[in-house]
Amino acid sequence: MIGRLRRKFIVACMISLAIVLTVILGGVNLMSYHKVVADADNILTLLDANNGAFPKNHDGQPPGTTQPDSAPKAKKDPFGQRGMSPETPYESRFFSVLLGEDGQVLQTDTGQIAAVDEAEAAVYAQNVFLSGRSSGFWGNYRYLQCENERGVLIIFLDCGRSLSSFRMTLLASVLLALLGLLAVLVLLLILSKRIVRPVAESYEKQKQFITDAGHELKTPMTIISADADLAEMECGENQWISDIRRQAQRLTGLTNDLIYLSRMEEEQPKLALIDFPISDVAEEMAQSFQALAKSQEKEFSLHIQPMLSCTGDEKAIRQLLSILLDNALKYSPAGGRLELRLEKQGRTLLLTVSNTAAQPIEQDKLPHLFDRFYRTDQSRSSQTGGYGLGLSIARSIVLAHKGKIRAESPDGRTLTFMIYLPG
């Protein structure tokens, strides 16, 4: 139990950290990618506004050229307005292609790039034209498609360096995040032992107390039962002696169940794992409850697939079936229905025990049915003779066999326990 608690703690921490890192890194890299796209679109928009070229200064000189002090200043700075520097025209590599309305190449301009010739530029432009998209990426090139009086002008901007930098940043951030997760995992594996140590010590003391108290209670319970027998021999049977014997038996059963549950919830319960015919075991256990069900005017149906085997502790599986069938019999009304079903699904054995309920079943109470001493109706404890440990023991048996158990009630009137065991 403590081991499962520790593992759940580590898993919860790692999942939480992974989610936080994913959100942070995803946000940072998304903004970085958006910045690359926004900068490229700004340059493409400026090129489109000037027919596929960067604008010149007011005196016709290229941007960044030093002018005399007497020269009039430009009224507008297209680079400053778009967040670009005067060095942008010299740093940018681009080419443009002018197409007709039918997609025929009319003009190409590859003077600002050396990696692409006119033939390649024409192929890029025609592919973009056929795609029908006005903007996007074609390889490492960000393009913008726009119409003018001459035809369709498609401008391509080389974003290879920006995209390469973005990819390197993304890869580095992912690797650092993975290393961080690994480091945190190592720390959690080391520190979690110290974190759960007080809980583990308390749990071990609790189990030891239950075991010791159980063994100490067995002796006086045996003496009480023996004294009740002697009193009955001396005075004859009466209501008081019968009540003493009955309550002594209940207390003995409770003590045995607590000890058994404590042993089953150890880290590695010792089970005699052998291959046994579970179909025969299920039919044999069902037969012992059929007569009791008939005497209570309850319908008991069996659907057991023959020739099924299971690797496990036969004694524990018998106790599991006894607990589930006894529970179904106790909490089903007169004239109700019980069903035991056993079948194989792939490599898994599915054991199903269902019964009609005397009262409507509340869905929020289903997960608590396997808790110790939990009862949906506390007032019926004395009537049924139980103390809320049976289903806890059943869950421990299933978990010890590396199986799963759950309770369902789709209609609110039928309670179904589904047990999945390795085949």
Mean of the pLDDT values across residues 352-377?
78
- Residue among 97, 159, 141, 140 nearest 122 (CA): 97
| CA 116 – CA 121 distance, rounded (Å) | 6
Residue 215 in this model has a pLDDT that exceeds 80: no
Q: Looking at residue 192, what is its pLDDT?
A: 80
- Burial grade of 269 (CB within 10 A; 0-12, 13-18, 19 or more): middle
Q: What's residue 27's pLDDT?
A: 93
* The predicted structure's pLDDT at residue 379: 44
Give pLDDT, residue 391.
84
Of the pLDDT bands very low, low, confident and very high (cuts 50, 70, 90), residue 305 is very high
302: which strand partners? 340
Buried b or exposed e, range 149-166, using 16+ CB within 10 angstroms? eebbbbbbbbbeebbeeb
User: Left if phi > 0, otherwise alpha if psi is -120 to 50, otherwise beta: which for 83?
Assistant: left
CATH of domain 274-422: 3.30.565.10
Tokens of 51: 């027919």
Q: Beta strands 299-304 and 337-345: pairing type? A: parallel
Mean pLDDT of all residues in 135-145: 92
| Residues recorded for the chain | 423
Q: Residue ranges per domain, the chain?
A: 2-163, 274-422
Output the pLDDT for position 289.
87
Confidence of residue 374 (pLDDT cuts 50, 70, 90): low
Specify the pLDDT at position 81: 54
Average pLDDT of span 291-297: 86
- What is the percentage of the chain residues whose pLDDT exceeds 90? 31
Query: What mean pLDDT comes out for the span 79-106?
Result: 80
More confident residue, 198 or 169: 169
Q: Render pLDDT for 255-283 as a digit per residue (tens, 0 to 9).
A: 776 666 666 655 455 667 788 999 999 99
- Residue 297's pLDDT band, with cuts at 50, 70 and 90, is confident
Query: What are the tens digits of pLDDT across the range 38-70?
Result: 999 999 988 888 888 888 754 445 554 444 444
Query: Measured between alpha carbons, how far is 378 from 400 in angstroms, rounded to an integer?
Result: 29
Q: What is the pLDDT of residue 387?
A: 54
Query: Quick one: pLDDT at residue 381?
Result: 46
276: helix, strand or coil: strand
Q: What is the pLDDT of residue 120?
A: 92
Average pLDDT over residues 150-157: 90
Mean pLDDT computed over every residue of the chain: 81
